[in-house]
Amino acid sequence: MTWVGILILIVCIWLAFKVVGVLFKVLLWGAVIVGLWWLFAPFLGLPRPF
Report yes or no on whether pTM surpasses 0.75: no
Largest CA distance in the chain: 63
pLDDT attached to residue 3: 95
Whether the per-residue pLDDT at 49 is higher than 90: the answer is no
d(C-alpha 12, C-alpha 3), whole Å: 14
User: How does pLDDT run across 4-46, given as a tens digit for each residue?
Assistant: 999 999 999 999 999 999 999 999 999 999 999 999 998 888 8
pLDDT attached to residue 50: 67
Please, are residues 42 and 33 in contact by the beta-carbon 8 Å criterion? no
Please, are residues 41 and 48 in contact by the beta-carbon 8 Å criterion? yes
d(C-alpha 21, C-alpha 9), whole Å: 19
d(C-alpha 50, C-alpha 43), whole Å: 16
